Structure 1
Amino acid sequence: MSAIKMPTFLTVESALKDSGLAVTPAELHGLLVGMISGGLPLDDKTWKPLIFDYTNDGMGWPDSALQMGSAIFQCTVAELSTDNFALDMLIPDGTETLMNRADGLSEWVNHFISGLGLVELKLDKASESLKEALLDLEEIARLGIDEEDDLEEQENLFEQVIEHVRICVLTIHAELGQKVHNDASKAVH
């Protein structure tokens, strides 16, 4: 288990807003997970210029937001580096409405796909399972909640969609992501 704990959605949201950054916690986490799953080196430096370009016109972030981003990055690397491949998505939690959680998931998935693009994902050599996972994610990013339908049923479906997103992400990460070996301090692809 990592010594670094994932900050809460509200804590990250507050830090980003206070820093004047127009990125949500879901967008930031999706970008980072996408970049890591796409093969970004696992050191704590390579993600920063990519995020700065994408979220702040290439300008650096204030220290408080940068510390929050670093904590999210390190926690995500730790989660994806375990043998059981855990992944907790930084989206609004169960205290929020289903609509807000669905919007957060959509932001997360869209930015995960963007994160793959930031590390220049090449699909020509990708496996069929990776391509299928990516197509599923693209479709999920367009899903929405219909306020006219049974919200309890949609709540159950939403939980199933979250699990499917995790499986898709872990499929992509397993094929493209850098691996951390316990016997060495270097990341090997």
Structure 2
Amino acid sequence: MSETTLPNYITIVTELQQAGLAVSPAELHGLLVGMLSGGLGLNDDSWQPLLFDYTNDGMGWPQSNLATAKSLLSFSMKELTADQGFELSLFIPGEDVEADVFEIADGLSEWVNHFISGLGLINASFTKASADVKEALADLEEIARLGIDEDDDLEEQAQLLEQVIEHVKACVLTIHAEFGVKPTKSSETPTIH
């Protein structure tokens, strides 16, 4: 399996801004992962009109930006449906863009808020969800209001933020495990009629 990585955060910020789209890469990725985790089909393009409505008053996106969104969706789909490992990448500002603890926390908050919105856009119903999923969603709602005080010890806050990021990943994986669409396994032996 080839190692695919997320694109450069600043490059995507620039692309979205140049297109006049009022969405950050963190918001876009959170929204897409939320839709996937809420049950968006793996070969379903219904996410596009939802994305257009939510981010651009129903107007379509330029092809290059739509291609970026598709690649983010595809990347996350592969991570969420991988047979081995429970790896999830969050497309938020990080060391690669020399983000400080405040920028990382803001990016995480944007990501989580839009993840929750993505669940709503795809009409995920949590009324019959397991207790684990309800707890994960409650945790995410609390994390969405995350903030760091300038008077706090920033080194300690950075360490706590890393723990929060890992907890967000665990919550997302918990929700996706219950509501996300899994790839169908093709049978090893052909069916004889």
Q: TM-score, normalised by structure 1?
A: 0.93
- Output the CA distance in 1 between the equivalents of 2:34 and 2:157: 26
1:127 equivalent to 2:127? Answer no
5 Å-filtered alignment, 1:101-116, equals 101-116=104-119
Q: Which residue of 1 aligns with 2:77?
A: 77
Query: What TM-score, normalized by structure 2, do the two folds share?
Result: 0.91
The one-letter code sitting in structure 2 at the alignment partner of 1:161 is: V
Q: In the alignment, is the contact (CA less than 8 A) between 1:106 and 1:142 conserved in 2?
A: yes
Greater shift in the superposed pair: 167-176 or 43-52: 43-52
Q: Distance in 2 between matches of 1:166 and 1:5?
A: 17
Q: 8 Å contact 1:19–1:64 — kept in the other structure?
A: no
1:90 to partner: Cα distance:
0.4
The 8 Å contact of residues 4 and 71 in structure 1, kept in 2 or not, is answered as no
Q: Which amino acid aligns with 1:88?
A: S
Question: Is the Cα–Cα contact under 8 Å of residues 7 and 71 in structure 1 kept in the other structure?
Answer: no
In the alignment, the residues of structure 1 paired with residue 169 and residue 89 of structure 2 have an alpha-carbon distance, to the nearest angstrom, of: 8
- Does 1:90 find its partner at 2:86? no
Quote the residue 2:37 is aligned against. Answer: 37
Aligned residue in 1 for 2:191 = none
Q: Distance in 1 between matches of 2:11 and 2:102?
A: 20
Encode CA deviations 1:152-175: one digit per residue, 9 max, x unaligned. Answer: 110100000000000000000000
Partners of 1:97 and 1:123 lie apart in 2 by 35
Match of 2:177 among 168, 174, 177: 174
Matched letter for residue 164 of structure 1: H
Look up the equivalent residue of 1:90 and give its one-letter code: F
Q: Which runs of 5+ in 1 are unaligned?
A: 185-189
Counterpart residue identity of residue 111, structure 1 = H
Which digits, 9 at most, give the CA deviation of each residue in 1:83-116, with x for residues without a partner? Answer: 2132110000121110011000000000000000
Q: Percent identity?
A: 59
Work out the number of aligned pairs and report it. 184
Is 2:143 the partner of 1:140? Answer: yes
Aligned-pair distance for 1:5? 3.8
**Offset at 1:183?**
2.3
In 1, distance between residues paired with 2:146 and 2:45?
A: 34
Range with bigger deviation, 95-104 or 39-48: 39-48
How far apart are 1:18 and its partner, in Å? 1.3
**RMSD (Å) for aligned C-alpha atoms:** 1.4
Could you list the runs of 4 or more consecutive aligned residues of structure 1 that deviate by over 3 angstroms after TM superposition? 1-5
SS at match of 1:165: helix
Structure exhibiting the larger radius of gyration computed from Cα positions:
2
Provide the C-alpha distance between the structure 2 equivalents of 1:70 and 1:19, rounded to a whole number of angstroms: 16
- Distance in 1 separating the partners of 2:169 and 2:27: 16
| Uncovered stretches (5+) of structure 2, i.e. residues with no partner | 188-193
